[in-house]
Amino acid sequence: MRLGKAWSSVDRGDDDLDRLAVLPFQTDPSANERHPRLLSLVRDHGLSVDDATDHERVQRQIHTTARSAGIRRAPCVPMAAMNSITVLGGGLMGLAIAHQLARRGRAVTVLSRRRSEAAGFVAAGMLAPHAEGLQGPLLALGQASLERVPAWVARIEADSGLPCGLRPCGIVVPFTSAAERDAYPTAAWGLALDRAALERELPGLGPRWRHGLLFAQDGQIDNRRRLMRALERACVALGVRFEEGSEVLELLTEDGERLRGVRVRRAEGGEHTLVASTAVLACGAWSARLLPSLPVHPVKGQMLSLQGPRASLERVLFGPGIYLVPREDGLLVVGATSEPEAGFDPGLTPEGQKQLQRGIAELLPEAALWPPMERWWGFRPGTPDGAPLLGPGPIAGVWLATGHHRNGVLLAAITGELIAEAITATGHGSEANAALLAPFHWDRPQPAAPAGHRPPGARASP
**Sign of the C-alpha dihedral computed for residues 398, 399, 402 and 408 taken in this order:** negative
* Beta pairing partners, 322: 319
When the beta carbons of 83 and 305 are compared against ligand FAD, the nearer one is: 305
92-103 vs 228-237: helix crossing angle, rounded to 10? 30
State the DSSP string of 188-255: GGSEEE-HHHHHHHSTT--TT--EEEEETT-EEE-IIIIIHHHHHHHHHHTT-EEEET-EEEEEEEET
Name the residue number minimizing CB distance to ligand FAD: 91
When the beta carbons of 21 and 325 are compared against ligand FAD, the nearer one is: 325
Least separation in angstroms between residue 25's CB and ligand FAD is 25
SS3 201: helix
For ligand FAD, the binding residues (CB under 6 A) are 88-94, 111-115, 117-120, 122-126, 247-248, 282-286, 290, 301, 303, 335-336, 378-381, 402, 404-410
Per the CB < 8 A criterion, the answer to whether 134 and 456 are in contact is: yes
Least separation in angstroms between residue 63's CB and ligand FAD is 34
When the beta carbons of 223 and 277 are compared against ligand FAD, the nearer one is: 223
Least separation in angstroms between residue 301's CB and ligand FAD is 3
Per the CB < 8 A criterion, the answer to whether 211 and 195 are in contact is: yes
When the beta carbons of 84 and 112 are compared against ligand FAD, the nearer one is: 112
When the beta carbons of 201 and 247 are compared against ligand FAD, the nearer one is: 247
When the beta carbons of 206 and 301 are compared against ligand FAD, the nearer one is: 301
Nearest to 38 by CA among 18, 16, 11, 4: 11
Per the CB < 8 A criterion, the answer to whether 221 and 153 are in contact is: yes
The letter for the amino acid at 349 is: T
Helix (H) or strand (E) holding 53: none
When the beta carbons of 153 and 336 are compared against ligand FAD, the nearer one is: 336
As a whole number of angstroms, the distance between CA 387 and CA 406 comes to 9
When the beta carbons of 76 and 409 are compared against ligand FAD, the nearer one is: 409
SS3 455: coil
Least separation in angstroms between residue 410's CB and ligand FAD is 4
Least separation in angstroms between residue 319's CB and ligand FAD is 14
As a whole number of angstroms, the distance between CA 265 and CA 56 comes to 31
Least separation in angstroms between residue 226's CB and ligand FAD is 14
Least separation in angstroms between residue 445's CB and ligand FAD is 22
When the beta carbons of 23 and 134 are compared against ligand FAD, the nearer one is: 134
When the beta carbons of 111 and 235 are compared against ligand FAD, the nearer one is: 111
State the DSSP string of 393-442: -SSBTEEEEE--GGGHHHHHHHHHHHHHHHHH-SS-S-HHHHHHHGGG-T
As a whole number of angstroms, the distance between CA 425 and CA 53 comes to 9
Least separation in angstroms between residue 406's CB and ligand FAD is 5
312 phi/psi in degrees, rounded to 5 = -70, -25
CA separation, residue 153 to residues 85, 91, 157, 411 (Å): 23, 17, 6, 13
Least separation in angstroms between residue 128's CB and ligand FAD is 6
Per the CB < 8 A criterion, the answer to whether 342 and 452 are in contact is: no
Least separation in angstroms between residue 395's CB and ligand FAD is 15
Angle ∠(365,368,369) on CA atoms, nearest 5 = 115
As a whole number of angstroms, the distance between CA 231 and CA 227 comes to 6
When the beta carbons of 77 and 123 are compared against ligand FAD, the nearer one is: 123
What are the helix (H) ranges across 174-272?
A: 178-182, 195-201, 228-237
Least separation in angstroms between residue 321's CB and ligand FAD is 12
